[in-house]
Structure 1
Amino acid sequence: MTVAQVRRRYAGLTALQILGTSMMLPVLVILMGERGLSVRDVGLVLAVGALSIALLEVPLGIASDRMSRRTALAAACLGRGAAFTGLFFASSLPQFIFWSVVFALGRAFESGPLQAWFVERTRNAATTPAEADLATSRGLGRGFATMALGGALGALLGGGLAAALPPEVTIAGVQTTGVAVPLLVAVMVEVVCLVAVLYLVTSQAREPDLRSTTVRHAVHDAARLVSTNRIFLLFACRWLLFAAAFQSFELVAPLYMRSEIGSAGSAASAFSVAIIVTQLSAAAGASLSGRLAGRYVWYRAVGLLSLLAGIAIMAAGMVPSTIGFVLCFALAFFLGGPVSALQGPTLHRQVDDTQRATLLSLESAVANVSVFAGSLALGWLVEATSLSVALVVAGVLAASAAVPSLLIGHRSLRDR
């Protein structure tokens, strides 16, 4: 398989992975409210889901490194599909919590194997290390772009279906609400994703013998990576800062829309539009990562992009209009789009194939912990001060992520 073929398969599967989830996001909170959950209950369900993902990331990352990439990705599809089905029928707080944990299982399985498969196949197909790094950056950039496009399309389909359908519908003799229908469509998407995974994710001619490593050794190696690899620790600092900063959009934007627009329904519609705009902006930014990787030193580019993204988030807290608010965040997502692809080759050089999914699961776990902490801290700031102050603080966090990026670059050059 050529580098181009691997890149196309990775991009398509990345979009499919996020499509079902992004269809669920615009309707889940509304659905829980319709089925009798209070605002506190809804917050509890979301918190349990986020915490479950963070706790499951590393164990399932280690597990996915000990099975084939195809098996791990198939398990992720089955987990998400089961969760969407359960959420469609859920009617009480315990049921919603249970299915949010099942969804977390699927999300935790999906975070590492696909990118690990792409990196492994790309490095095997490339003829030189330099070609492998450039192909990895370009492929990751295309993957992040298609993921953002898939997220925007899913949000559009989920919100559009919920808005177009009547409040009460009957499907196969089952009476339900219109906002629940996107969950059924998401189940169908997961079936398509499962078939695509089984067909497109092929094994290498000679895969590493992952089973020869015991679970104890795998856990020990992961702990050693966290505790002794200074480049990884700097990456973790960067993930903590950047993830917390961008969490401000999901937390602050709905509150901003509600305060500016007034009507809850109109504010929700405006937020859906904002999601689509920011995801398209992120896709546009990610699509430029290949050009940036070929022309600029990656850590300098990432440092500058982080600084500018932080300034854009701070500006969102100062502009006087809703349109200006959305445009500032669109710019921040555009600037943040190429970052992961640019730093990807250096990150993946920290491990071999037997730990690649574990590495990506550690990244996702750190990001989820940051999102959890950022939500609490920024929420407290909003209540104690104002939306503008919270966004300025978030912008400072994003800009501060430039520091570990530069340190990673200098240390990786020194270690060569």
Structure 2
Amino acid sequence: MTEPLDIRTARRRYVTVCVLFWLPLGLTIAPLVLLFTERGLALTAIAGFLAVHSLTAAALELPTGGLSDVLGRRVVLAAAGLLNLGALTLMGLGTAPWLLGLGTALMGAGRALSSGPAEAWYVDTVQAHFGPGADLRSGLARGSSAVSAALATGTLLGGALPWLLGLGPDLGARLGEATSGLVLPLSVPMLLGAAVEIVFVLYVLTVLREPPRPSATLRGVLRGIPATMVGGLRLGGRDALVRRVLLSAGAAGCALAAIEMLTPVRAAALTGASESGAVLFAALACAGFICAAVGSHLAPLTVRLAGSGERAVLASLGAGAGGLLVLSATAAFAGVGPTVLAALGYGLVYLGLGAAGPSENDLLHHRVSSSGRATALSVQSLAQQLGGALTGLVIGVLPPGPLPWLWGGAALLAGALLWVRRGETTAPPAPVATSRPHTVPPSPSVADSAP
């Protein structure tokens, strides 16, 4: 029998996994749409491919969360990395529309598979070492900060690499000729991301060791996943605190969708051209990820200042809602003053969401058992995606101006008000299992596995 991982080693491995997974996705943020345009796709086709990504992720969110709880964290994370490896390779080298569409679908599947296993592995490890009442917030905050930092770094690299390759005389043309048009300067970030995915898969298979699960057979997997999915969907109905976490995730999805849909248009209007607006948006996106990383890092301090995790979520989501309301109030004005206020509001949204996330997930993990932990995270992610989809529909029918921004701010404010409680949660109750014990047995203790 091997001793369980110490807390520092588990935290370091969890943070490394977060960085290696999200860095390749950050590399795609700036060049993806432009690369598809270079491949001859119309904007309507590009929008369709992005919708394929979102729908694939949403459709597979719960089944893949159940797969992680039944089959294990490591194998599902490795599968997510392999799917992203294939996706980035197809998007970087593909020239036919069907190849690019397949790439976006594979990336959606990889996104669904990755939703929860790494965090569930970390929580399982910490609770195996310190018991179910262990403090999770500090490690979750570091993981969330690492995700934001990886996205910020990837966004900068993904935007800078094609630009740097284009500086040399005819360098881009020579690159295309040498590869028969397969590799363009805009393809390089995708291929770099594919290389990082190989490192990610090898790292996961090497260090995220866990004991084999009793139901890790084809029959056990097929029997276990549906029950785990049903248990995950019932979580919110059984537990008021879990329900608030899920509804808050939906509110955050509304806020993020409003930011992501409205900011590029506002940036282009501010600069006077789409190209320069895209550059400004990339800079804003990077700044937003940095603010989210800072917010996540400050999450434990926010809890100490607020007095409890629930009050910290209330304050953090309230701050994010205030940022969106500032963006709404300045939407109809130009000039230096309103622009500076809008930038501050933009940063405040991400700062608040970053600070709220670790506290929400700390509360969630103390309410669910290991046998349904990844499923609970998948339900949370699905709630966020559904909130974003609803916001897309609403913004599509609202007139331009303050109202679309106000919708996102009102949704996030409603999510914050959910945490105005009569009584605080001082001690977590026994974790709620999300599935029948005989169908999906609890995970063996990490103490019985190799580190």
Do they superpose with TM above 0.5?
yes
| Alpha carbons 1:53, 1:104 under 8 Å: kept | yes
| Alpha carbons 1:149, 1:283 under 8 Å: kept | yes
* Residue aligning to 1:240: 250
* Residue aligning to 1:255: 265
2:238 to 200, 204, 229: 229
> Relative to 1, partners in 2 of residues 1:111 and 1:2: Cα closer, same or farther, differing over 3 Å?
same
| Alpha carbons 1:53, 1:105 under 8 Å: kept | yes
* Residue aligning to 1:173: 179
> Relative to 1, partners in 2 of residues 1:208 and 1:67: Cα closer, same or farther, differing over 3 Å?
closer
* Residue aligning to 2:200: 193
- The residue correspondences of 1:262-281 to structure 2 (distance < 5 A) are 262-281=272-291
- The residue correspondences of 1:189-338 to structure 2 (distance < 5 A) are 189-203=196-210, 209-211=214-216, 215-227=222-234, 228-231=237-240, 232-295=242-305, 296-319=307-330, 320=334, 321-338=338-355
* Residue aligning to 1:14: 18
Determine the C-alpha separation between the residues in 2 that align with 1:68 and 1:169: 46
> Relative to 1, partners in 2 of residues 1:263 and 1:358: Cα closer, same or farther, differing over 3 Å?
same
What's the CA shift for 1:44?
Answer: 0.7
Determine the C-alpha separation between the residues in 2 that align with 1:95 and 1:412: 52
* Residue aligning to 2:433: none
| Alpha carbons 1:145, 1:286 under 8 Å: kept | yes
> Relative to 1, partners in 2 of residues 1:314 and 1:11: Cα closer, same or farther, differing over 3 Å?
same
Determine the C-alpha separation between the residues in 1 that align with 2:418 and 2:394: 22
| Alpha carbons 2:132, 2:366 under 8 Å: kept | no
Report the number of matched residues. Answer: 407
Determine the C-alpha separation between the residues in 1 that align with 2:386 and 2:97: 24
* Residue aligning to 1:97: 101
- The residue correspondences of 1:73-92 to structure 2 (distance < 5 A) are 73-92=77-96
- The residue correspondences of 1:355-366 to structure 2 (distance < 5 A) are 355-366=372-383
Task: Name the aligned partner's letter for residue 91 of structure 1.
Answer: T
What SS does structure 2 have at the residue aligned with 1:91? coil
What's the CA shift for 1:411?
Answer: 7.6
Determine the C-alpha separation between the residues in 1 that align with 2:422 and 2:97: 44
| Alpha carbons 1:51, 1:369 under 8 Å: kept | no
| Alpha carbons 1:64, 1:113 under 8 Å: kept | yes
Residue by residue, what CA displacement relative to the aligned partner does 1:353-380 show, whole Å, maximum 9, x if unpaired?
1211111111112212222221222233
| Alpha carbons 1:251, 1:379 under 8 Å: kept | no
What's the CA shift for 1:290?
Answer: 2.2
| Alpha carbons 1:51, 1:368 under 8 Å: kept | no
What's the CA shift for 1:2?
Answer: 0.9
Determine the C-alpha separation between the residues in 1 that align with 2:188 and 2:27: 10
Larger deviation, residues 386-395 vs 45-54: 386-395
Determine the C-alpha separation between the residues in 2 that align with 1:407 and 1:54: 31
What's the CA shift for 1:156?
Answer: 0.4
Residue by residue, what CA displacement relative to the aligned partner does 1:109-138 show, whole Å, maximum 9, x if unpaired?
111110000000011122x544x1x2x111
Task: Name the aligned partner's letter for residue 315 of structure 1.
Answer: V
> Relative to 1, partners in 2 of residues 1:377 and 1:409: Cα closer, same or farther, differing over 3 Å?
farther
> Relative to 1, partners in 2 of residues 1:264 and 1:377: Cα closer, same or farther, differing over 3 Å?
same
| Alpha carbons 2:323, 2:344 under 8 Å: kept | no
* Rg (Cα) greater in structure: 2
Task: Name the aligned partner's letter for residue 258 of structure 1.
Answer: A
| Alpha carbons 1:65, 1:356 under 8 Å: kept | yes
| Alpha carbons 1:80, 1:103 under 8 Å: kept | yes
Larger deviation, residues 22-31 vs 361-370: 361-370
* Residue aligning to 2:390: 373
Larger deviation, residues 36-45 vs 145-154: 36-45
Determine the C-alpha separation between the residues in 1 that align with 2:173 and 2:124: 48
Once superposed, what is the RMSD of the aligned Cα atoms? 2.2
| Alpha carbons 1:234, 1:407 under 8 Å: kept | no
What SS does structure 2 have at the residue aligned with 1:405? coil
Unaligned runs of 5+ in 1: none
> Relative to 1, partners in 2 of residues 1:414 and 1:66: Cα closer, same or farther, differing over 3 Å?
closer
Determine the C-alpha separation between the residues in 2 that align with 1:169 and 1:184: 17
Residue by residue, what CA displacement relative to the aligned partner does 1:387-410 show, whole Å, maximum 9, x if unpaired?
322112211111110133345975
Determine the C-alpha separation between the residues in 2 that align with 1:390 and 1:3: 44
What's the CA shift for 1:16?
Answer: 1.2
What SS does structure 2 have at the residue aligned with 1:36? coil
* Residue aligning to 1:143: 143
Determine the C-alpha separation between the residues in 2 that align with 1:254 and 1:409: 42
Indicate the structure with greater helix content: 1
What's the CA shift for 1:196?
Answer: 1.7
* Residue aligning to 1:33: 37
1:341 to 335, 355, 358: 358
What's the CA shift for 1:234?
Answer: 2.8
Task: Name the aligned partner's letter for residue 196 of structure 1.
Answer: Y
What SS does structure 1 have at the residue aligned with 2:71? coil
Determine the C-alpha separation between the residues in 2 that align with 1:324 and 1:264: 22
Answering whether residue 407 of structure 2 is matched by residue 393 of structure 1, we say: yes
